[in-house]
Amino acid sequence: MAMLSLFGLHRYALVYLYYRHRDCAQGPPPKRYGQLPAVTVQLPIFNERFVVAELVDAVCALRYPRHLLQIQVLDDSTDETAAVLERIVGEKRAAGVPIEYIHRTNREGYKAGALAAGLRQASGELIAIFDADFTPEKDFLEKLVHYFADHDVGMVQTRWTYRNRDLSLLTRVQAMLLDGHFVFEHGGRARSGRFFNFNGTAGVLRKAMIEDAGGWQHDTLTEDTDLSYRAQLRGWKFLYAPHVEAPSELPTDMAGFQVQQFRWAKGLLQTGVKLLPSLLRSGQPGTVKVEAAFHLLANVAYPMMLLLAVLILPSMLVRQELLGGRLLWLDLPAFLLTFCSLSSFYTLSQAELGRGGVHRHLRLVPPLVLAGISLALSNSRAVVGAMCGSRSAFERTAKFSGDRSAAAQARRVYGRRGGWRMVANFAAAAYFAICLGVAVHIEHWLGVPVIALFLSGFSYAGISMLADARASARALLRTADESAQ
């Protein structure tokens, strides 16, 4: 709990940096190009047939001189997505759009490998990247390109928004979690001169920066963060432009959410293991090193939280027998520092985005905490795997483009069953049901709320994945019936 409290205190530190350096918020480009540079737009795609049409349409509508624009569709797909893209790209090329289709027959290096392959054929001085579920506004490049008139600038990141934010409680919670990241984590780090990272999409990078930093590497699951830290260690300047929004889509099912968070958690720690030692030995200021350590090691909090949860039962029994309530003076401040920092961090981010006062979003704090608890098992596995050096495949999170009916249609093709995650969450819920019974039996009333919180979090994850799996099964059965008819 003491270590978790430290991570909770760090959230307050990021909020402080954000407000303390308010005057350093990124404004319009201080310089402008006399002659615009060539830009290559890269679209890395793998089995995303339900969203690629919107992506390609949006990118082809970007306002930028056509003779300075190159669009690369980097497709590693193994399903019908490839045929869909070939048709769309052919139509766009016939209409005069400078777009090309590059298909790999293997996924070597996964997304990083696709980006590296495209970079070798890129003609642009600047590289814009969009994942399959993004639909940039027409003026995206116009707003960002002039920041690179400063030749020290290597990357400009924009802020994500979410088309399906209000689709379900899960999407609303995910949006709130990511808003906290883009407002206070990116904002606090960028404003105060700390290192921060390119998010892998909805940003523009200088090709020379990518090459100078060693190119795209695929020995971590977060090739974007890996490149970001290597580039900033080389002296490149990174900018954050939160006033430029990039519409995207959130995972609509619990299994997809956990797969995405697993990839981010493992990749971030892999980057820490890879680069933190050299960063700590570098000549960077101590403030940069401390913040980088908190950033890259942030997901260590998950196995700590899981360990705390597992120890509740023996701790409760030992305290009841030997200590009574004498440690309450230590428990309560630590608990409040850990969990209250969550509520203030994420509700304040909503206020900063102009989504209403803090009080309007307090009702989302309980499900947000439950969502965080639901990630404990999966993300703990990710952290342990990263520390042990195990390798994982890059599991992409399928996106379904649009409303519930579109998601139901896509579930027939890309529906994901809960697998071991569902079973593990139900097992954890059963353990905490036993803990709750013991707490009531020995009248340890102070432990009941915490135990109930973990029980609810793991139950929420397990039930959600079971419901999603049943919906996927029903969708597959409908497809089979339609085929038979």
Helix (H) or strand (E) holding 155: strand 153-162
Q: What is the pLDDT of residues 452-479, one digit of tens each?
A: 989 999 999 999 999 888 877 776 666 5
The confidence score (pLDDT) of residue 334 equals 64
Average pLDDT (286-314) is: 93
Which residue is listed with tokens 């490049």? 141
Task: Look at residue 9 and give its three-state secondary structure.
Answer: helix
The CATH number of 26-250, from 2.40.50.140, 3.20.20.70, 3.90.550.10, 2.40.100.10, is: 3.90.550.10
Give how far Cα 126 sits from Cα of 240, 248, 288, Å.
16, 22, 27
Window from 136-140, 238-242, 320-324, 460-464 with minimum mean pLDDT: 320-324
How many beta carbons lie within 10 A of that of residue 481, not counting itself? Answer: 9
Window from 140-149, 313-322, 338-347, 360-369 with minimum mean pLDDT: 313-322
The confidence score (pLDDT) of residue 6 equals 87
Please pick, among 76, 179, 253, 468, the residue that the annotation labels catalytic.
76
What residue type is 331 in one-letter code? Answer: D
Across the beta sheet with 39-45, the strand order is 99-103, 69-75, 39-45, 126-129, 203-206, 153-162, 237-248
Task: Tell how far CA 75 is from the center of its chain.
Answer: 22
Q: What is the pLDDT of residues 45-91, one digit of tens each?
A: 999 988 999 999 999 999 999 999 999 999 999 999 999 999 999 99
Does position 406 have pLDDT exceeding 80, yes or no? Answer: no
Dihedral angle sign, alpha carbons of residues 409, 414, 420, 424: negative
Average pLDDT over the chain reads 90
The confidence score (pLDDT) of residue 26 equals 94
Give how far Cα 252 sits from Cα of 160, 264, 333, Å.
17, 17, 36
Does position 329 have pLDDT exceeding 90, yes or no? Answer: no
Q: How confident is the model at residue 311 (pLDDT cuts 50, 70, 90)?
A: confident
Q: What is the pLDDT of residues 185-197, one digit of tens each?
A: 999 999 999 999 9
Q: Does residue 57 carry a catalytic annotation? A: no
The pTM of the whole model exceeds 0.75: yes
Q: Is 33 exposed, middle or buried (0-12, 13-18, 19+ CB in 10 A)?
A: exposed
Task: Look at residue 59 and give its three-state secondary structure.
Answer: helix
List, in sequence order, every residue forming a beta bridge with 158; answer none if it has no partner: 241
Q: How confident is the model at residue 317 (pLDDT cuts 50, 70, 90)?
A: confident
Task: Look at residue 159 and give its three-state secondary structure.
Answer: strand
Please pick, among 75, 133, 224, 253, the residue that the annotation labels catalytic.
224
Q: Does residue 139 carry a catalytic annotation? A: no
Q: How far apart are CA 417 and CA 185, in angstroms?
A: 32
Q: What is the pLDDT of residues 248-289, one digit of tens each?
A: 999 988 988 999 999 999 999 999 999 999 999 999 999 999
